[in-house]
Amino acid sequence: MSTVETTSHDNAHTTFDAKPIWRTFWILLGITLVEITLATIHLKTGFPNKYVLNGIYLILTCAKAFYIIAEFMHLRHEIKNMIMTIAVPALIFVWFIIAFLWDGSSYNALRNRYDAHYAEQNLIKVAPAEGEKPAAEKPGSAQ
Partner 1 sequence: MAQAIPAGQKWWSGGKSPFNVEYGKLMMWYFLMSDSFTFGAFLISYGSIRFATNGWPNPNEVFKAFPLVPESIHLPLVFVSLMTFILIMSSVTMVLAVAAGHNNDQKKVTFYMILTIIGGLMFLSCQAWEWTHLHGEGAWWGRNPFPNADGSKASTNFTNFFFTITGFHGFHVFSGVVINVIMLIKNLRGDFAKRGHYLMIEKAGLYWHFVDLVWVFVFTCFYLL
68 contacts 28 by C-beta, under 8 angstroms: yes
- The torsion angles phi and psi of 74, rounded to 5 degrees, stand at 65, 20
- Pick 3 or 45: Cβ nearer partner 1: 3
Smallest gap, in angstroms, from Cβ of residue 143 to partner 1?
Answer: 19
The residue among 60, 59, 55, 54 whose CA lies nearest residue 33 is 60
Residue 34 interacts with partner 1 (CB under 8 A): yes or no: no
Torsion (CA) 71, 74, 77, 83 in degrees, nearest 10: -110
Does residue 47 touch partner 1 according to CB under 8 A? no
The nearest distance, CB 18 to partner 1, in angstroms, is 7
Q: Scanning residues 59 to 98, which ones bind partner 1 (CB under 8 A)?
A: 61, 64-65, 68-69, 71-73, 75, 78-82, 85-86, 89-90, 93, 96-97
Angle CA 138–141–143, to nearest 5: 150
Q: How far apart are CA 110 and CA 113, in angstroms?
A: 5
- Interacting residues with partner 1 (CB under 8 A): 1-7, 9-11, 13-18, 21-22, 24-25, 28-29, 32, 35-36, 39-40, 43, 54, 57-58, 61, 64-65, 68-69, 71-73, 75, 78-82, 85-86, 89-90, 93, 96-97, 100-101, 103-105, 107-108, 111-112, 119, 121-126
